[in-house]
């Protein structure tokens, strides 16, 4: 269970990021916070939405983001790919792979060109629940249709 103050703090960060992106006319009106959380004895990745929903990140939720523009902290274009399911949890406990909680995701930062040097930097990193110290704010244009209401 996620503590109420963690959810409230995440919602505050989301509101602030959405407000900044609105001022920049970026069209980003929805977002979530990617954070580390406990599921029993295991660290898993979770998401907290502006509406206060808090759930474990799954492959199905990642699939729902496909095709949507994602911006890390409202600026850097990224994509998220399925990483590793939580170790030690039997797959048969879940109806399918899409519902298994993830302990990691692959984040591809697509980079941005700067007028000064005209270089485009791209980075791929594995975001691991055990190592994630600071929550990540991710904005997009709308709530993914496949995400729970």
Interval 12-36: pLDDT, tens: 999 999 998 888 877 899 999 999 9
Mean pLDDT of 85-112: 77
Residue 90 CB burial class (10 angstroms; 0-12, 13-18, ≥19):
exposed
State yes or no: pLDDT of 79 exceeds 70. Answer: yes
Distance CA 123, CA 109 (A): 5
Q: Is pLDDT larger for residue 96 or for residue 145?
A: 145
- Give 67's contacts (C-beta < 8 A, 6+ positions apart): none
Q: Could you identify the residue written with the tokens 């939580």? A: 86
| pLDDT one-digit tens code per residue, 68-77 | 999 999 988 9
Residue 140 has pLDDT above 80, yes or no: yes
């Amino acid at each position: 269970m996620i503590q109420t103050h963690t959810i409230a703090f995440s919602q505050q960060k989301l509101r602030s990021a959405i407000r900044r992106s609105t001022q920049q006319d970026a069209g980003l009106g929805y977002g979530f916070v990617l954070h580390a959380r406990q599921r029993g004895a295991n660290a898993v990745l979770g998401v907290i939405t502006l509406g206060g929903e808090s759930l474990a990140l799954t492959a199905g939720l990642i699939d729902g983001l496909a095709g949507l523009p994602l911006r890390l902290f409202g600026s850097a274009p990224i994509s998220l790919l399925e990483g590793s399911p939580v170790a030690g949890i039997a797959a048969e406990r879940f109806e399918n792979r899409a519902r298994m909680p993830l302990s990691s995701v692959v984040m591809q930062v697509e980079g941005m060109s700067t007028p000064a040097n005209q270089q485009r930097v791209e980075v791929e990193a594995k975001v691991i629940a055990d190592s994630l110290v600071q929550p990540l704010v991710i904005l997009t244009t709308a709530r993914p249709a496949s995400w729970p209401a």
